[in-house]
Amino acid sequence: MSHSNRPLVGIVMGSDSDLTTMSEAATVLRNFGVPFEIEISSAHRSPARTSEYARTAIERGLKVIIVAAGGAAHLGGVIAAETTLPVIGVPIPSTTLQGLDSLLSMVQMPGGVPVACTSIGKPGAINAALFAVEILALADQKLAAKLVAHKEELARGVSKKSARVKREFQF
């Protein structure tokens, strides 16, 4: 873990190959100064580890769990089954079906055990982290202010890009 503070967010992924995608989430959390931890644990290859991770999440101080998985992406559901913390799912694009399988496996949870899904791949990783920050910001005025600043920065970024395109682009 890259922060001295106790982690508030857990980023769990089914395979270390998901790290390419999920490092985007880590970057967002670091930028917001939110302490987090990274965990590799598979619903299928290490069920006991996954279950243990989910069951001890609250007592270890986690507030939100971000879960990334691809293909038959069961990891989010399996973790949500064992904790009452909010679980955010990030569908990882799979080799053959472009993440449609990952998305449907994650998002189509039965009533009773929620997993809330963001978009497939890197935009989803970024948004899962931002969503976690939004949750934490409900009890943290500084984070709330940072989110407002982030939103303003997004709008400014658009303005700058629009200005540049109008200036530079020659038809």
Q: By CB under 8 A, what part of segment 87-146 binds a copy of itself?
A: 88, 93-101, 103-128, 130-131, 134-135, 137-139, 144
Query: Binding a copy of itself by CB under 8 A: which of 5, 20, 27, 56?
Result: 27
Structure tokens at 158: 């658009």
Binding status of residue 7 toward a copy of itself by CB under 8 A: no
Least Å distance, CB 66 to a copy of itself, is: 10
Q: Can you list the alpha helix ranges (DSSP code H) found in 45-121?
A: 47-55, 75-80, 100-107
Helix 141-168, helix 122-137: angle, nearest 10: 140
- Residues 155 and 161: their CA atoms lie apart, in Å, by 10
Least Å distance, CB 64 to a copy of itself, is: 8
Tell me, by CB under 8 A, how many residues bind a copy of itself: 99
- Residues 140 and 144: their CA atoms lie apart, in Å, by 6
Least Å distance, CB 120 to a copy of itself, is: 4
Binding status of residue 21 toward a copy of itself by CB under 8 A: no
C-alpha to C-alpha distances, 149 to 29, 117, 140, 154, nearest whole angstrom? 15, 24, 14, 9
Query: Binding a copy of itself by CB under 8 A: which of 7, 10, 14, 57?
Result: 14
Query: Binding a copy of itself by CB under 8 A: which of 43, 57, 67, 68?
Result: 43
Residues 13/19, Cβ–Cβ less than 8 Å? yes
